[in-house]
Amino acid sequence: MAVVSRGFGARRRESDPRLPPGQYLTEDFPVLSAGPTPRIDLDQWRFAIRSETGSQVSWTWDEFQALPIEDVDTDIHCVTRWSKLGTSWRGVSLDTLLESVESEAEYAMAHSYGGYTTNIPLDELRDGQAWVAFEFDGEPLDPEHGGPARLLVPHLYFWKSAKWVRGLTLMDDDEPGFWEQNGYNMHGDPWTEERYW
């Protein structure tokens, strides 16, 4: 039984069935990251996937842009409790990218320019659930939001959608990434509030 706070509720916001429990709507786009924003030149940019056997495939920016590109309209949910509904992105599906890699691995570690990491089960990256996105709202993705390209895994809390992503390492066993070592859940489903350890 929750404790009732005397007099609270006068300024309540409308609830929306698209909001997972414990989330509130925001109209702007808050920025959360652990350090300064990295700046990456497109001619230096690479996205690489390394399998558990050590084989590697990588794309330059131009090669990446030549891949099939998808439009994605989705809601996003940050563990700090804001949610943003109906966001629009463009990017390359992880299904497309993972086709180039032979792997039996079950987990992936996403690596970012700037050193950030986050772990994600490969099942959560396949079947139209995840992209490497480089446009937001019809514009190139802003650096403070992860540009030139970020992971987009909208069905998990947004710390899994690694900004400034540079690649994936596929792993047989799960390992914690940056926030996972610092108190956040290994999986991160917003609908079951997998926020912390």
Partner 1 sequence: MTVGGWQPARVVEAVGATPSARLLHLQVPGWPGNEAGQHVDIRLTAEDGYQAVRSYSIGSYGPGETIELAVDEIPDGEVSPYLVRDVLPGDELEVKGPLGGYFVWRPGGAAPVQLIAGGSGIVPLMAMVRAATDAGAAASVRLLYSVRTPEDAIYRDELERTATDGGVGLTWRYTRAAPDGWTGHVGRVDDDVLRAAVWEPGREPIFFVCGPTGFVEHVADALVGLGYPSARIRTERFGGG
Alpha-carbon distance of 164 to 150, in angstroms, equals 5
**Which residues is 46 bridged to in the sheet?**
60
Q: Give the residue, chosen from 16, 18, 26, 126, that forms a contact with partner 1 under the rule CB under 8 A.
A: 26
Q: How far is the CB of 34 from partner 1 (least distance, A)?
A: 6
Q: Does 175 bind partner 1 (CB under 8 A)?
A: no
Q: Give the residue, chosen from 18, 30, 44, 55, that forms a contact with partner 1 under the rule CB under 8 A.
A: 30
Alpha-carbon distance of 192 to 182, in angstroms, equals 20
Question: Do 165 and 112 touch, CB atoms closer than 8 A?
Answer: yes
Q: How far is the CB of 6 from partner 1 (least distance, A)?
A: 5
Q: Does 81 bind partner 1 (CB under 8 A)?
A: yes
Q: How far is the CB of 132 from partner 1 (least distance, A)?
A: 22
Question: Do 47 and 165 touch, CB atoms closer than 8 A?
Answer: yes
Q: Give the residue, chosen from 16, 18, 55, 115, that forms a contact with partner 1 under the rule CB under 8 A.
A: 115
* CA angle 55–61–66, rounded 5-degree value: 90
Q: Which helix (H) or strand (E) holds 141?
A: none
Q: Which residues bind partner 1 (CB under 8 A)?
A: 2-13, 22, 24-26, 28-38, 80-82, 114-115, 144, 178-179, 181-183, 195-197
